[in-house]
Amino acid sequence: MPLQNWMPCLNKYKGMKQEIKQLECLSHIASAIIENPSLSLSDFGIEKENSTERLKYTEFKPWNAVSIAHPGLYEEIAHLSNKYVIASSSNLSAIGLVAGATAAVATAAASGASATGIGIVVAPLILLWGYKKYKAKKLEQEQKERMYKELVAKRQAAINRNKQIYHELELKLRSQNSTMEQYKKEIEELKKQNSHLVELFEVLSEQMNQFRQAG
């Protein structure tokens, strides 16, 4: 999806779990950096929190060049101000169809109908509530699985992009013109892009690790 078309997608955030929003935003930031490796995480208002060493969304200035180029992404980040970038394993494990949850809902619905003595009239309402709860959890599970696959793909895309840049860097370093001032500037820029993609890869890898821990 083109970066400039993200704004209409913000409507789907209504009712979406905070952690899914975090994952969506990280995916979009990854796309922007892969598309333009001159951008870094800090360009998106992401900084390391001193007390925890965890990456966090800080205040993202509306006049920031990134916010002007990608207004939809700016809106996403603004909604996550002061939130952590990485969704933790404990939070991820609470999203979706937790093991045994479906059976528990069904059991609660059945026992609630009989134990209270309310009987047949209220039983369908209890079962309907259980079904709605199940559908909501199922949707969360689908969103979580989709985001996992998406972030895995983004991590691979970051690797592939970095290979291209590294190859270009090698060619320039081997060139007989590598001592020329213009080549020096280009080499420094490629080195910077390389470091930005490595940084992105590490963040995506950490998010994958949190997914694995969540089970």
Average pLDDT value for residue range 174-189: 80
Quick one: pLDDT at residue 117?
47
> Has residue 184 got a pLDDT over 70?
yes
Residue with the bigger pLDDT between 100 and 71: it is: 71
Quick one: pLDDT at residue 180?
79
> Has residue 94 got a pLDDT over 70?
yes
| Terminal Cα distance for the chain, rounded | 29
> Has residue 124 got a pLDDT over 70?
no
Average pLDDT value for residue range 91-115: 58
Buried b (16+ CB within 10 A) or exposed e, 112-123: bbeeeeeeeeeb
> Has residue 123 got a pLDDT over 90?
no
Burial (CB count within 10 angstroms: exposed 0-12, middle 13-18, buried 19+), residue 92:
buried
> Has residue 115 got a pLDDT over 70?
no
Mean pLDDT over the full length of the chain: 79
Quick one: pLDDT at residue 1?
44
Quick one: pLDDT at residue 128?
64
User: Percent of the chain, pLDDT > 90?
Assistant: 42
3-state secondary structure of 48: strand
> Using an 8 Å Cβ cutoff, are 152 and 212 in contact?
no
Confidence of residue 113 (pLDDT cuts 50, 70, 90): very low
Residue with the bigger pLDDT between 96 and 215: it is: 96
Confidence of residue 25 (pLDDT cuts 50, 70, 90): very high
